[in-house]
Amino acid sequence: MLSRTAENLFWLARYVERAEYLARTIDATLRVTALPAAYIGKTNEWDSALLTAGVGPTFYEHHEEANERNVVEYLSFSDANPSSIKNCIEAARLNSRSVRTALTSEMWDTINSAWIELQGVWTKGGTGSREELAKFLRFVQETSLRFDGSAYRTMLRNDAYWFSRLGVHLERADNTARILDVKYHVLLPEEEHVGGPLDYYQWTSILRSVSATTAYHWVYRETLKPWLIADLLILNDTLPRSLASCYSNLVRNLDQIGVAYGRQGASQRHARGVRNRLEHSHMDDIFQHGVHEFIQEFIADNSRLGEIITKQYLI
Amino acid sequence: MAVAFDEMNGLGGDLRPAYEELSRWLKETPPDALEYRRQEAELLFRRIGITFAVYGDAEAQERLIPFDVIPRIMSAKEWTLLEKGLKQRVLALNLFLKDIYHGRDILRANIVPEDLIFQNPVFRPEMNGQDVPHDIYIHIAGIDIIRTDPENFIVLEDNARTPSGVSYMLENREIMMRLFPDLFARHRVAPVERYPDELLSALRSVAPHSASAEPTVALMTPGVYNSAYYEHSFLADKLGIELVEGRDLIVKNDEVFMRTTEGLKRVDVIYRRVDDDFLDPLTFRPDSALGVPGLMSAYAAGNITLANAVGTGISDDKAIYSYMPDIVKFYLSEEPILKNVQTWRCREPQDLSYVLDNLADLVVKEVHGSGGYGMLIGPAATKATIEAFRDKLKREPEGFIAQPTLALSTCPTCTDKGLAPRHVDLRPFVLTGSSHTTVVPGGLTRVALKEGSLVVNSSQGGGTKDTWILSE
């Protein structure tokens, strides 16, 4: 297939995944900040939402402080933020238009309808009430589910599908890693409070932003423990948003491409390397090594994989 | 202006046979049911994303072309005549192009004046002496046809460069069949759906000798921001070929390749929807980012077929248009089946003085204009506009032609005030491959939605209709 087509499919999937993640982040933050101050402590949740989205520095170029109004606006509708939900969906649609021939009509319909529907919200300049905002966030998440579902159900299992899956899992791994990193950073300095009521809601909010609250209880049958949450999100292959699961998928999809093209390359090797590291890691070691360091390394490895894939296939 | 010929009710209000069933159906169908389906059609178009961009219109970057649900119908007998005329016309156009870029018999015979060719910016000296596979220059033609009476088909314009609109022919039919299955059941409408197959086989048939037995065809688009981008992606999809942009292609050793995830892959035929000027920055406009450096050299080496060929603009130029009846006779020794609109060539002093004296009754067009831009419609223009045009004409007479204001035929159309006649034209698409020429029965009917308006161009607020050719 055309390199440009593969590139568009890859990015299309990334944009949709990112939009959903942003919606989840906002949603989770709204829930935490709705709690009385005694439950959430002194941290500025909106600041941490910006950090998880990786847009802290650019945000503070335009704003003095982070609050609900300006962060929601920045993450959702801002033109100035290249990865706002709005820009993600616009970029997704532009990418879809460029590769319409490689998309199934169901996938195109999902993106195009979302874009049409959101025009209304954007032209109003955003959502007025909390209720409207909640509806908007749900809509973004549903769009992503529909997109994923229609890709899964309607696409031929060929390179077009595999490149789009690569985009999903690469982006997802990045998002999960970031939220873990930020939350650990925010929460862990006060080690003595770990497990206290204050943190409980913070940890819940992490799980919520990766939609794993129920999963946690099924897997561990335990109250929330930071190291178990880290274990779930990093090493547990059965949780679709865990780093381990993302890498199983990346390796599988890259292998399928390799087999179809009759050639393996740098991206297959690199992905396998990262996955092996995850497979052979234990939470104890990670804690000893430092969660922050571990995740920083992972984020760098993950974005390297993006570069290698681009070089090998997309240009 | 005289009362126009109506496709449904003729000149005297007698229902024409092809419309009998439609007329019965319209009487049975309540107006709000029609309105409801009209809205449904619009929703479908928007969801599928059939839009076009209007240049210089920032607010409406993507617009829908209004779709009118009342079909335009033609009998098999009418179509047979039209089809014959179209094939004849396109055959003559292809022969003319071969001649212009080779022996130039027609110039020596003094049928067409030399300066009209050699001083014409759309004449491509690069094509002099270059052979193209099977001598076909125009693989895809869109011939704009109008009617003023039941007997004649008149060519308003030949489109021999990158004619667009065929996606509307196909999508309009798709949507009509979805919305009006009952109406289809009462007619025998010739299908249009084989167009993509016909197009693909025509394109494959003209692959260069150096191509493999299974030639690779690609559709080249200027990109998502082009006004016809939807059509490009639609056709690539229907043909099952890659939709490429200039940056996807690369020329090596005079062969053209596309960049794929598996490395470079040779391309043999490019159905290009990019104008000549932008094809190759090394030959044409150096500032073009849409093209492929070296493409023309691969073309000259005979390793790639471009459809349509480079330089076809010289055949559909408005200045050449007026010579078409003579061109047909010259190459085919036949009388032209399709008529031409009477045309005054402002470059000729006698014609110019007639035009200047009758500006208020004439339509004046720029020789190199298209899309309905830059033309004067005398009867609808203000005095000031006419005077401004008069100055332009005097300054640069060779840039213009003039034609009488024709009463284009009308067809019943949904309007705010119910069904009313609106002026229409028709663009059928003529495909030429190595072995034969085909016209899929139908075409794009464009309709001027404003009462009395004669301008059907989509960029000027025109709409479209499905075009039905009835089987015997």
**pLDDT tens digits along B390-401:** 999 999 998 899
- Which tokens go with B335? 């009388």
Q: Best residue in A101, A110, A116 to probe B by mutation, most B CBs within 10 Å?
A: A101
Closest chain B CA to residue A96:
B224
d(CA B245, CA B222) in angstroms, rounded, equals 6
Dump pLDDT digits (tens) for B197-248: 999 999 999 999 999 999 999 999 999 888 888 899 999 989 999 999 999 9
Cis peptide leading into residue B308 (ω within 30°): yes
d(CA B309, CA B94) in angstroms, rounded, equals 10
Compute the count of residue pairs across chains A and B with CB atoms less than 8 Å apart.
51
CA-nearest of B83, B153, B61, B45 to B431 is B83
Give residue B374's identity as a one-letter amino acid code. G
As a whole number, the mean pLDDT across chain B is 91
Dump pLDDT digits (tens) for B91-140: 999 999 999 999 999 999 999 999 999 988 899 999 999 999 999 999 99
d(CA A305, CA A269) in angstroms, rounded, equals 10
- Phi, psi for A103 (deg, rounded to 5): -95, 155
Nearest-Cα distance to chain A for B258, in Å, is 7
Nearest-Cα distance to chain A for B169, in Å, is 19
B344 within 8 A of B355, measured Cβ to Cβ: yes
pLDDT of residue A197: 55
B260 and A CB contact within 8 Å: yes
B244 and A CB contact within 8 Å: yes
**B81 contact partners, CB below 8 Å, separation of at least 6:** B153, B337
Which residues in chain A have Cβ-Cβ distances shorter than 8 Å to B223? 98
DSSP collapsed to 3 states, chain B: CCCCCECCCECCCCCCHHHHHHHHHHHHCCHHHHHHHHHHHHHHHHHHCCCECCCCCCCCCCECCCEEEEEEEECHHHHHHHHHHHHHHHHHHHHHHHHHCCCCHHHHCCCCCHHHHHCCCCCCHHHCCCCCHHHCCCCEEEEEEECCCCCCCEEEEEECCCCCCHHHHHHHHHHHHHHCHHHHHCCCECCCCCHHHHHHHHHHHCCCCCCCCCCCEEEECCCCCCCCHHHHHHHHHHHCCEEECHHHEEEECCEEEEEECCEEEECCEEEECCCHHHCCCCCCCCCCCCCCCCHHHHHHCCCCEEECCCCCHHHHCHHHHCCHHHHHHHHHCCCCCCEECCCEECCCHHHHHHHHHCHHHEEEEECCCCCCCCCEEHHHCCHHHHHHHHHHHHHCHHHEEEEECCCCCEEEEEECCEEEEEEEEEECEEEECCCCEEECCCCEEEEECCCCCCCCCHHHCEEEEEEEEECC
B280 within 8 A of B323, measured Cβ to Cβ: no
d(CA A35, CA A29) in angstroms, rounded, equals 10
pLDDT of residue A122: 76
Contact yes or no for A313 and B261 at CB 8 A: yes
Cα B198 to its chain centre, rounded Å, is 17
B46 and A CB contact within 8 Å: yes
Contact yes or no for A4 and B224 at CB 8 A: no
- Ranges A55-64, B52-61, B115-124, B263-272: which has the least confidence: B52-61
The more confident residue out of B266 and A51 is B266
- Phi, psi for B87 (deg, rounded to 5): -65, -40
Terminal alpha carbon distance of chain A = 12
pLDDT of residue A180: 86
Terminal alpha carbon distance of chain B = 35
Nearest-Cα distance to chain B for A301, in Å, is 23
Closest chain B CA to residue A163:
B261
Closest chain B CA to residue A97:
B224
Which residues in chain A have Cβ-Cβ distances shorter than 8 Å to B248? 2-4
State the pTM of this model.
Answer: 0.85
CA-nearest of A305, A243, A244 to A271 is A305
Which residues in chain A have Cβ-Cβ distances shorter than 8 Å to B233? 97, 100-101
Contact yes or no for A2 and B224 at CB 8 A: no
Contact yes or no for A4 and B262 at CB 8 A: no
B292 within 8 A of B135, measured Cβ to Cβ: no
Q: How many CA atoms lie within 13 A of B6 on its CB side?
A: 18
Nearest-Cα distance to chain B for A102, in Å, is 8
Contact yes or no for B49 and A2 at CB 8 A: no
Cα B329 to its chain centre, rounded Å, is 23
Nearest-Cα distance to chain B for A248, in Å, is 22
Q: How many CA atoms lie within 13 A of A134 on its CB side?
A: 6
Q: Above 50 in pLDDT, residue B60?
A: no
Dump pLDDT digits (tens) for B403-416: 998 889 999 999 88
d(CA B4, CA B1) in angstroms, rounded, equals 8
pLDDT of residue B55: 47
The more confident residue out of B1 and B392 is B392
Mean predicted confidence (pLDDT) in B333-339: 97
B22 within 8 A of B8, measured Cβ to Cβ: yes
Given B224, B242, B262, which is nearest A97 (Cβ)?
B224
- Phi, psi for B347 (deg, rounded to 5): -70, -20
DSSP A250-277: HHHHHHHHHHHHT---HHHHHHHHHHHH
Contact yes or no for B237 and A101 at CB 8 A: yes
Give residue A198's identity as a one-letter amino acid code. L
pLDDT of residue B208: 96
Closest chain A CA to residue B238:
A101
- Consecutive sets of 10 residues in chain A, 315 residues long: mean pLDDT of each? 95 96 90 75 82 89 91 93 94 90 89 88 76 91 95 94 97 93 67 54 80 89 85 94 97 96 95 96 86 92 97 92
pLDDT of residue A39: 67
Which residues in chain A have Cβ-Cβ distances shorter than 8 Å to B250? none
B61 and A CB contact within 8 Å: no
pLDDT of residue B50: 67
Closest chain B CA to residue A265:
B262
C-alpha distances in angstroms, A137 versus A176, B256, B288?
19, 47, 42
Q: Could you give the 3-state DSSP secondary structure of residue A55?
A: coil
Among positive and negative, which fits the CA dihedral B404, B405, B407, B408? positive
pLDDT of residue B58: 44
The more confident residue out of B183 and A43 is B183
d(CA B238, CA B219) in angstroms, rounded, equals 11
Complex ipTM over 0.90: no
What percent of chain B shows pLDDT beyond 90? Answer: 74
A250 within 8 A of A166, measured Cβ to Cβ: yes
